[in-house]
Structure 1
Amino acid sequence: MPPRRRPQFTQENIDQQLQQIHLLDPSSSSENLEQLGPVIKQIHSKRQQDVFLRTVQGLIQSKDAEIEKICGDNYQDFISSVSTLFTVKSYTDKMKENIQSLDSSVSQLGRGLVEKKRGLLQSKKTAANLDEAIDTLQACLRVLDVVNRVGEMIKEGKYWGALRSLEDIQNMPPTSLSQTPFFQHLLSSLPSLRAQIKDAVTASMKQWLLEIRNAQSDLILPNPLPLTFLPQLTQEISGFFIVETHVLETTGTFRSARDVEELWDSLVLGVAESITSSLRTENDPEEYLRVKECLTGFIMTLETSPYSVDSLQSFIILLFEKYAKLLEAQFSRRFESIVTQDDHLPMQIDATNEVDTVLDVVFVGNAEKSQIRQMAPPYTLPWSQTFYLCCQDIRGFIQKFYAFVEGVSRHHRNIDEVLSKLLDSLLIEHISEPIGKRLAGTSTLSQIAQIVTNLEYFQAACSELEFSLTNLRSTQRGGTIRLTARTSFETTLSRSLARITGLITSKLDQFFELSEYEWTPPARENAPSMYLYELVNWLTTVVDSLVIKETYKDEAYKGALEYIAGCLMSFLTGRDISMMNENAISNILIDVDFLEDELKRIGRSHLSSVFVELRMTTSIPLSDNVHEYLVPAMRHTSYSAVKHKRLQALLEKLARFGTTQRDLSARELAEKRRKEADAVGRVFPGEGR
């Protein structure tokens, strides 16, 4: 079958179809795409796309030419019309906005006027209510002002005017206020106001009478009060209040107990102030004691009455504190005077009856008192005048102290505490410390020995005083009295013993200045140094002649020997001597042997221990045992007393001496000593000290 021939479209057919498309209704809302479909299909099926496109392009160009022509003829008119149209539109929009703004402003002003009108009406109503309320309040205030004036009149004492004002309130003409609950309440309170006026009148009358009585009580209290007038004054006050008590007990409401008690309190206060004013410049404790006795009798007279005497008892305690201070000041001057004027000599008594008088005064144990009484006259007592006179004044102080306390049965423990503090103050500040001051200026050993003895007795006196005072207070159920002054006396005693040692060592310096040791002798000596004979003779004579306990003598010897050992050790290891040889060391040891022999002779061989360090230190180079010392175990056991710095210094001195010798063996020994000194110097500083 031959193939189908495609239909051919001529140029005319294509133009007709395009013209048909061009003539479509432009106002139609549909796109009319269905009409283009067949045309495009035909063109595609006949493969005439190029022809169709050329035709379409030609149609477009012709239409563009027509459009350009039309636009070219009407362009300026069109532009001006469009511009005019836009101008009119902008004016129209602006006028529309102005109209809307004007409409909203008019609406807002209208609403504001309505609100102002409504507020004005409300304000007129409120103003009317306020006027009415103000009128009512003013009426109430006038009435309240009258009532307030009534209260002020009562306070000012204008009672008649207050009653007249109450009558004016009650007789007010009827008004709108008369029917209010406020006015009715005010009328109901008038009886209570009248009662207040009545009570105020009564209280004023009583106060007037009480002021008259107070004025009378003040008139009988002169200021300042002569203390000689005090007994008569207390008797008059006692009689007055005894009568007042009888009046209170035998009458009804003639006088209230409260008024009488207030009068009593004011009078007691006035008496206390007058006495205080009179005693302000008084320094005599006896005057305070007389005032206390007068007030004690006054209290005992009214103690069974209903009046409180607590304030008087408190005032007596206050007087007691001032009395105690004056008493302390008085006796402190006496104690310091006694200590200052002491001659530091044992107290001498010739007659037996005088011994009994002294022993009854001093605070010494009964056993020692018995030993003293067994002595034959004349008596040489171990203490000096200071101890006896101080004990005498201590007893006088205690007697005067308790003289004020008699009749005051309260606060015994507080009183005991005050007494113990006062005694401690007197013993420490005015006996022990002044003794210490005198000790610093005393250079005579016998006087210092007497000070030591006195301090021992003062120490023992503290215990005896505690025991005596405790027994005295036990009968009145008081507390135990403890004194701390013993510690102060112990401290001063230690200073005294140190002072003895210091004086002895200062004398020993003079002997060592005469020692004249030769530090590089060619040979050893066979006898001790000559100065030691004088030194030992002086030391034993001085220490044994001191009238002190053997223990204190032992301490004096020990202090002197420690000083001697220190001086000898300073010769061996100090910087004053640059070199020495073994012979000089041996000579020092000969002197030490002599001193130890002398200690054995006087029975004090136990004091030889002060030379242990010196002997151990010198034995190491003399025995050539430095290598043993360098062994820690040996150093801690056999040479524990040796201080390595001192041993090093001694070895260096021996080495310096050896370097000055011409002998080869001596120089070799010197080099050995130098190396040993260096080895000892490297020992840990904490060891061997």
Structure 2
Amino acid sequence: MPSAVDHGDDLYAAVKQITQSSSDSDYIDQLVPVMKDVRYSDRAGHLVQALNQLSAEREADIERMCNSNHQEFVSSVNSLLRVREGTVEMTTQILQLNQSIQASTENLAEQKKALVDSRGVRQNIDETSQALNDCLDVLRLANQVHDLLTKKNHYAALRALDELQTVHLKEVSRYKIAEMIEKSVPATQRLIADAVMTDLNTWLFRIREASQYLGEVAFYHTEMRRTRHEERAKQDEHFMKFKLNTAMELVADETDEFDILNNDETDTQVDFSPLFECMHIHETLGQSDHFRAEYAATRRRQKELIIPSSINLLDEDGSELSSLLESIAGFAIIERATIRRTENFRAIVDVEELWDSMCQSTITLITNNLHTVESDDLLLKIKGRIALFILTMENWGYSVTSLNALLLTLFEKYSELLKRRFSEDFQEIVSTDDYMPMPINNLEEYDKVVNVSWYTPDKDREQLTFPCVLPFSQMYPLCCIDIRNFLNQIYLFSDDHFQRSTVIDDTLRSSLDELLCENVCQSLVDRLSSQYPGQIVQILTNLEHFETACQELQDLLFQARSSSSDTKQVVLAATEQFRAAKKTASDRIFELVNSKIDDLIETAEYDWMAMKPTREPSNYMQELTRYLSNIMNSVLLGLPTEIKEFIYFDALSHASTMILVTPTRSLSLSPTLSLSCIRILPISLSAALLTFQLQNLPLDQSVKRITPAAVQALATDAEFLSSFVDSLNNPILKENLDELIQTVALMGTDNSDEFFDVAQRNRKYGKVEPQKGAILIEK
């Protein structure tokens, strides 16, 4: 067999190497490439031969080994047989064990299958349980939203709803419950919005109910500020130049902090949390514009509820007006605080519109009922409440222009009421006066009268003896008191806001003028129709003091004017009217005195044809001088010296003229005769109302001749009158008799030709009219 294969053949070596492999897998792994090579090279036969050769060699080896070890082989075979027997038994056992294992494996497979099935069910259960838990969490959050709504935690409910919608619903989005809850979210949002609006409406109702008290607290705060400002002004005069609500006053008052909306002292707590919560929730819901519009409409409706349909201004304590103003103030303060505590929520134009509307409604209410107020004191209280309201709201930044106009309306009404009241007082004072010099019993009474009257005494108070009399009658100090009261009452209308404006100045001047002119001056002028010179003299004296008072008032009004830059002098028409009334009164005295002189001269009885001269003055001349002396020392004693001298001057001039010429005299005026006629007529014509002729004086046409004895009688009377005037120690008065004395001298001269010589006439008879002198010379 070895000769059949080449020793150099590589197949034999390869097969031999293959047989030496340690494992079947290596054997096969080495055999496969050899077989592939044999297949493609057509050497399969050679491979078989190589294998056979190797097999033959192995058998030869085995046979050789067996031949050399037969006994051992036999024993080995026996052992192998025993082993085989044991192997068979073991195989049987293994088969039995295999059957048992197979049975156990089938049972295990069934159990495993059951286990797998149970694991699937358990997984399904777990997944279902997880799904249920997730759904339960969603339901719990949904219920929590409603629980928070029940507890009025609206924002927390909205946050929980938002978390439910954006987080938890996405986790269970594959379940039907997510869809159901998602559909209910808008409804829940509406529930939250409705709930928060309900709370806000409750809050709005409460603050509307608390608005009056809030306004009352604001008024109290303003009053306290005004008190503190007055105290500062007393301590430092510089603060007097600053009104309330000015920058200076606000800075000075910064140390006194007072929060109207949150103050423990006044127990005011205005919590804006419901509003802020409602704003935030609607902003979160994207409904801010809708909420702003609804809130504005609600506040407009509440504003309408504040304004009543009518108001009673006659209440002494002003409760209705105070309640109205306090409610408006509280409402407006809430609005202003809302603007300050929010951003872009309340439009300023809406708040200002509400304020203007409330102001106009209030002004209309007050104006329509103002005619019912007939008391200036009550009107002053009304003004005080409105002024306090203005000061309070001005501090909160509201426009008070329309309310200032209301104050002007109130002031006009107030001044009319004052003027009416003081007009009645003045008329009563004038009508009930006794028109006698005012008696003073003691120094205290004297000081009171001097302090209230514009009167400068002639003597120092230490030099006075009591009882004494003052030149004016009682009506003058009473009127002065009323004038001062009128000034004070007018200025009472002035305060920190409505100060002494030009309106007060002008109204005061015109009203005072009207009172003094119509109720005092004209009333006194109307009484000049009296036939009693003493009463006329007292009226003239009163008019003199009233003129002085008017001059003092002009200075007082100038100093009290509102604008210090106004340098225009204050002029009262009453000053000139009292001055004119003085002239009328003095004319009336002249008229009465001259009328009496005419009455006395009427009794003159000259016998122009007498042959025997008389050395005694005539009775009428004695009565005339006695009358002039008495009236000057009694009735006219209280008149100023210049007026008395002027009356003397006029009376003597009238007497000297009437003694010579044909006089005209007026009858007594009827009390119903208007004095306007007297005021517009010259004194020289005032006697022309009713006249009659005296038939027994030198220039009378009925006197044809005058004897020297008659001239002597006339000269005696003229001399007597001249002596009386000399006793008055007033050279000016003597000049009034120049015409009478020169005329009497002309009538008694023996050289009448001197009168017709111009130079001589001017020197000796300059006061005698040429025509009258010629007539008398002829007689």
> Structures share a fold, TM > 0.5?
yes
Corresponding position: 1:226 with 2:352 = no
Task: Give the structure 2 partner of residue 383 of structure 1.
Answer: 472
How far apart are residue 350 of structure 1 and its match? 2.7
* Equivalent residue number for residue 597 of structure 2: 508
TM-aligned CA distance change 1:533 to 1:636, over 3 Å: closer
Q: Which residues in structure 2 correspond to 1:377-456 (within 5 Å)? A: 377-409=466-498, 412-441=501-530, 443-456=531-544
Pairing partner for 1:492 from 561, 581, 592: 581
Q: Does structure 2 conserve the Cα–Cα contact (< 8 Å) formed by 1:568 and 1:588?
A: no
* 1:646 and 2:737 are equivalent in the alignment: no
Determine whether 1:611 maps to 2:699. Answer: no
- 1:373 and 1:337 mapped to 2: Cα distance? 34
| Cα distance per residue 1:375-413 (max 9 Å; x no partner) | 233343332210111111111111110001223445623
Q: Deviations over 1:254-312 (max 9, x none)?
A: 23211221221121111111111111132211122111101110011111223211111
Matches within 5 A, 1:71-90: none
Counting only pairs closer than 5 Å after superposition, residues 566-577 of structure 1 correspond to structure 2 as 566-571=657-662, 574-575=699-700, 577=702
Partner secondary structure for residue 348 of structure 1: strand
| Cα separation, 2, equivalents of 1:469 and 1:325 | 19
Structure 1 stretch 551-560 or stretch 426-435: which is displaced more? Answer: 551-560
Aligned-residue Cα RMSD (Å) equals: 3.2
CA contact (8 A) 1:515 1:529 kept: yes
Q: Secondary structure at the match of 1:401?
A: helix
CA distance 1:334–1:207, shift in 2 (3 Å): farther
State the SS of the aligned residue for 1:405: coil
| Distance in 1 between residues matched to 2:289 and 2:625, nearest whole Å | 100
Distance 1:477 1:525 in 2: 76
Q: How does 1:22-421 map to 2 (within 5 A)?
A: 213-227=299-313, 228=318, 229-365=320-456, 368=458, 371-372=460-461, 374-409=463-498, 412-421=501-510
Deviations, residues 305-351 of structure 1 (Å, cap 9, x unaligned): 23211111121012111211111111011001101100112222334
Structure 1 position 619, deviation (Å): 4.8
CA offsets 1:193-235 (integer angstroms, 9 cap, x no match): xxxxxxxxx9999999767644543332223312321112111
Matching residue's letter, 2:638:
V
Q: Tell me how far apart the structure 2 counterparts of residues 421 and 640 of structure 1 sit (CA, whole Å).
A: 53
1:580 aligns with 2:669: no
- Could you tell me how far apart the structure 1 residues matched to 2:361 and 2:385 are? 16
Give the Å deviation of 1:352: 3.0
Q: Give, in angstroms, the shift of residue 616 of structure 1.
A: 4.0
Which secondary structure state, in structure 2, belongs to the residue aligned with residue 482 of structure 1?
A: coil
Assess, with a 3 A threshold, how the Cα gap between structure 1 residues 632 and 596 changes in structure 2: closer, same or farther: closer
The answer as to whether partners of 1:504 and 1:560 remain within 8 angstroms in 2 is yes
Maintained 8 Å contact 1:520/1:580: yes
Unaligned runs of 5+ in 2: 1-287, 663-696
Residue 502 of structure 1 and its aligned partner are, at CA, apart by: 2.2
State whether residues 306 and 328 of structure 2, in contact with CA within 8 Å, keep that contact through their aligned partners in structure 1. no
Aligned to 2:632: 543
Change (3 A) 1:349 1:523: closer
| Structure-2 change in CA distance of 1:477 and 1:281 (3 Å) | farther
2:654 corresponds, among 552, 563, 567, to: 563
TM-score (normalised: structure 2): 0.53
Gaps of 5+ in 1: 1-201, 655-689
Tell me if structure 2 keeps the 8 A contact 1:340–1:438: no
Contact 2:554 2:572 in 1 (8 A): yes
Identity of aligned residues (%): 32
For residues 503 and 355 of structure 2, the distance between their equivalents in structure 1, rounded to whole angstroms, comes to 28
**8 Å Cα contact 1:501-1:556 kept in structure 2:** yes
* C-alpha distance in 1 between matches for 2:309 and 2:738: 81
**SS of the residue aligned with 2:372?**
coil
- Structure showing greater Rg: 2
Q: Residue 460 and residue 203 in structure 1: after superposition, are their counterparts in 2 closer, same or farther (change >3 A)?
A: farther
- Indicate how the Cα distance of structure 1 residues 285 and 477 shifts in structure 2: closer, same or farther if over 3 A, else same: farther
Aligned partner of 2:23 in structure 1 is: none
Pick closer, same or farther for the CA change 1:300–1:570 going to 2, 3 Å.
same
Decide whether the 8 Å contact of 2:439 with 2:467 is kept in 1.
yes
Q: 1:602 to 1:472 in 2, by over 3 A?
A: same
Aligned-partner Cα distance in 1 for 2:762–2:291: 102
Counterpart of 1:380 in 2: which secondary structure?
Answer: strand
Contact 2:500 2:562 in 1 (8 A): no
Distance in 2, Cα, partners of 1:304 & 1:439: 58
CA contact (8 A) 2:411 2:493 kept: yes
Q: Give me the whole-angstrom Cα distance separating, in 2, the residues matched to 1:378 and 1:587.
A: 48
Summarize the Cα distance change of 1:418–1:636 in structure 2 as closer, same or farther, 3 Å threshold. Answer: farther
CA contact (8 A) 1:346 1:382 kept: yes
Task: Give the Cα–Cα distance (whole angstroms) in 2 for the partners of residues 624 and 459 of structure 1.
Answer: 55
Structure 1 residues 511, 633: closer, same or farther in 2, change over 3 A?
closer
CA shift in 2, pair 1:322/1:260, >3 Å: same
Tell me the distance in 2 between the aligned counterparts of 1:612 and 1:207.
102
Distance 1:633-1:220 versus aligned 2 partners, 3 A rule: farther
In the superposition, relative to structure 1, how do residues 292 and 599 fare at CA in structure 2: closer, same or farther (>3 Å)?
Answer: same
